[in-house]
């Protein structure tokens, strides 16, 4: 369906009023259906909001433009992060979601736009589970992310995102006040069963899953 700000998206109502919605953000070439089963596995009963990225790269949806592998169009990134944050706020009202901002679950390009939202629009998310992210940008001054929980899940043999890049994002978010954890897996730039296990454990241990 199409919704606020023209984002094609999927919305799955939740069965538990105590859970914040999950904002599911796909990787390059994905779509609004890619992460629905992942979201349902991570936080059963949570509402799921899954938009499709508006930018096309060789016909593949993304959430913002890049100039080369790992080189982002920062002007477009800032615009798209704010556009997505506006969509989330409008969708929260339209679907009658809890007052607690969503928790982002993003993979690759989706993880990077989620990190950009945290850094540019810190009140738009209450937390984030980021699979294979890197630093999208470093705003000055840094935002106040105290009280925001972030988990980074990185692959030690990832050919696209180096361990240094994941560590740099963890450091940036920590300096912004976020409660950051980082988990290292032996895999590369694909989601595996181990990623789901890490994410499920994070949601289970986090007070986010208890409506706090």
Catalytic residues: 108, 158, 189
Q: How far is it, in rounded angstroms, from Cα 65 to Cα 55?
A: 7
Give phi and psi for 25, each to the nearest 5: -125, 110
Cα gap 114→124, rounded to integer Å: 10
Structure tokens at 4: 């606020």
Report how far Cα 159 is from the mean position of its chain's Cα atoms.
Answer: 20
Beta bridge partners of 114: none
Distance between CA atoms of residues 187 and 195, nearest Å: 9
- Identify the residue whose tokens are 């899940």: 153
Q: Please state, in angstroms and rounded to a whole number, the distance separating the CA atoms of residues 33 and 51.
A: 9
């Amino acid at each position: 369906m199409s919704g606020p700000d023209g984002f094609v998206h999927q919305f799955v109502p939740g069965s538990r009023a105590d859970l914040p919605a999950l904002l599911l953000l796909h990787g390059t070439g994905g779509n609004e259906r890619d992460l629905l089963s992942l979201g349902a596995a991570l936080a059963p009963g949570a509402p799921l909001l899954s938009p499709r990225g508006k930018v096309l790269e060789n016909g593949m949806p993304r959430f913002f433009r890049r100039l080369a592998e790992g080189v982002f169009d920062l002007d477009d990134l800032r615009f798209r992060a704010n556009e997505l944050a506006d969509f989330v706020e409008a969708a929260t009202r339209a679907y009658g979601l809890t007052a607690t901002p969503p928790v982002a679950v993003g993979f690759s390009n989706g993880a990077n736009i989620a990190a950009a939202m945290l850094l540019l629009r810190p009140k738009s998310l209450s937390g984030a589970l980021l699979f294979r992210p890197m630093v999208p940008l470093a705003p000055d001054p840094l935002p106040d992310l105290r009280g925001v929980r972030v988990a980074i899940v990185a692959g030690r043999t990832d050919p696209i995102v180096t361990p240094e890049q994941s560590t740099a994002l963890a450091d940036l978010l920590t300096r912004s006040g976020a409660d950051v954890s980082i988990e290292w897996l032996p895999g590369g730039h694909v989601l595996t069963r181990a990623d789901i296990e890490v994410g499920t454990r994070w949601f289970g241990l986090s007070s986010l899953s208890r409506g706090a």
